[in-house]
A and B are shown apart, each in its own frame.
Chain A
């Protein structure tokens, strides 16, 4: 029916056992903290609130809007969930959504669910909330702008991480999968950003109490700004660096035991082929990444201005 698969749902057997296990460990640790934090903040109310909110994210993913031809944009919801409910509750809500997608609809595998939760739940909630939180005392347009940037970044960061996981599993060449995933999800992220901003500005008009300073303090402290900005910077700066110079990362991965020594170094494989849209030096690609982010930021800013002028 409406259910539209997203490229980021990694199926079973696409990740190697060590990568799956590492992702499960990270995810399990984060979720353990999230469970105890939401328990403190919400108490017995957390089950009905987060349960219905998880159903909301699931249902909201059915709201689509036509883009071109038969394609349509729709929401992933990680950033929106984190902004509205706080990062810890947002993580739990997204985890429930991803678990049901895997269990009931076979959208994403079970052994790789740790990785899927990490990419689409934990990272999106962290970046989404962190970037948005940095503008907590600012006027509304700046908050909306930050929410748009946060939503776009969360999708792109999730896609970047999943490319890294597939590459570390030895199932794709980073120079191929990373640009492909980035380009597709930079576009998907624009849809995510506009829907998130519009939804948020609607909620700000209707129920401003849900987003005022008091309720924001309950959701998560200012430390999230640091974590969110650091996570997005890490992912964004790492990806062009790694795609033009994967040797360093390969060595790190080998030292950690993620890649077996017998595997040929990935960088040797495509060295004879020039890939046009990747620069020659890491600095040029980092520069390209930053410029790209700024351009998208400017577009979202202008969109936000346009929306405010109309409303």
Chain B
């Protein structure tokens, strides 16, 4: 498997790509928190939030509609929120029977539902943009600078590094299962559900042992290269004055956005 099959980073020469990963990560989190804090039905603030997102898209030179297209994949999650339509007390708008239930859509429910959808849709897009303009190792270093425990960021960095290797391992196991599972047309193939689950469980057990033994080899290889419990990077990750300005600008904009949302 190609090493960047899981990578979401898109190489471009843009202001957002050059911005310090700490600033990008913090700005994304501030943007998402701001969306969550906006009250239901703050349409003007939502629109401003959206225009911020479009501006960020334009700054990244990935195209104004880049995150919009990617966000459609994440949309099915929003269906969980459908229950809010019926859960909030308010003026009934629409009532219908489905199976044994009587569903009533209320105006307050509709307001909450659409607000949640907009908030989570905006948040997902900014998160998509973050990983498109930041290399994942840089993002992990940013997390470390932002006081996430070093052990946790190191585990995340390792997870990312070995995901490709273990995915190859999974592909091999699945390919082996495929080649063992020949079937004759017109005949029932494969065992019972239980048997299939057991085969999958054996694959998981096999994968565990291969990963466990690999982690041992990785550890010994690291120790023989002078590893003593800490990972080092040659990238200094120094904040430039433009990074500070960008951070201050984002905080100010979000602050104004929150005030507008509460007017």
Contact = CB atoms under 8 A, between A and B. Distances in A.
Interface residues of B, number: 87
Nearest to A46: B151
Given A14-B120, A59-B170, A51 B163 contact: no
Nearest to B102: A273
Nearest to A303: B194
Interface stretch (A197-205, A227-235, A246-254): A197-205
B83 to A, nearest CB: 4
B205 A203 contact: yes
Contacts of B162: 51-52, 55
B28 interface: yes
B198 A206 contact: no
- Interface of chain B: mostly helix, strand, loop or mixed: helix
Contacts of B112: 170-171
Nearest to B200: A65
A92 interface: yes
Contact of A63 (B76, B102, B124, B173): B173
Contact of A276 (B100, B151, B212): B100
Interface stretch (B58-66, B213-221, B236-244, B245-253): B213-221
Interface stretch (B10-18, B222-230, B254-262): B222-230
B199 interface: yes
A51 B154 contact: yes
A272 to B, nearest CB: 8
Given A104-B136, A170-B88, A177-B83, 20 more contacts: A12-B32, A12-B127, A45-B219, A49-B219, A52-B218, A55-B165, A64-B200, A93-B155, A100-B159, A102-B127, A103-B130, A103-B136, A106-B127, A109-B32, A166-B80, A171-B84, A176-B87, A180-B83, A198-B199, A269-B87
Contact of A106 (B74, B170, B205): B74
Nearest to A195: B201
A95 interface: yes
Nearest to B70: A106
Given A49-B219, A62-B167, A56 B208 contact: yes
B206 interface: yes
A306 B195 CA distance: 10
B22 interface: no
B81 interface: yes
B259 to A, nearest CB: 17
B152 A96 contact: yes
Interface string A5-17: 1010111111001
Given A9-B77, A11-B120, A195-B201, A103 B149 contact: no
A58 to B, nearest CB: 6
Interface residues of A, number: 93
B94 to A, nearest CB: 16
B89 interface: yes
B212 A53 contact: yes
Nearest to A10: B80
B2 to A, nearest CB: 12
B157 interface: yes
Contacts of A307: 198
Contact of B197 (A53, A65, A93, A180): A65
Interface in B106-152: 112, 116, 119-120, 123-124, 127-128, 130-131, 136, 139, 149, 151-152
A171 B102 contact: no
Interface in A40-73: 43-56, 58-60, 62-67, 73
B19 interface: no
Given A17-B36, A195-B200, A51 B161 contact: yes
B28 A110 contact: yes
Nearest to B164: A55
A62 B160 CA distance: 15
A173 B83 contact: yes
Interface of B: 5-6, 8, 28-29, 32-33, 35-37, 74, 76-78, 80-81, 83-84, 86-89, 100-102, 112, 116, 119-120, 123-124, 127-128, 130-131, 136, 139, 149, 151-152, 154-163, 165-167, 169-170, 173-174, 190, 193-194, 196-209, 211-212, 214-216, 218-219, 222-223, 227-229, 231
Contacts of A172: 80, 83-84, 87
Interface of A: 1, 5, 7, 9-14, 17, 20, 31-32, 35, 38-39, 43-56, 58-60, 62-67, 73-75, 80, 84, 92-93, 95-97, 99-100, 102-106, 109-111, 166, 170-173, 176-177, 180, 191, 194-203, 206-207, 210, 264, 266, 268-269, 272-276, 303, 306-307
A38 B152 CA distance: 11
Given A12-B123, A48-B219, A171-B116, A269 B32 contact: no
Given A13-B116, A49-B219, A266-B87, A198 B201 contact: yes
A173 B86 CA distance: 8
A269 B196 contact: no
B87 A173 contact: yes
Instruction: In the A-B complex, list the 3 residue pairs whose CB atoms are closest, starting with the nearest.
Output: A198-B201, A51-B158, A202-B205
A47 B214 CA distance: 13
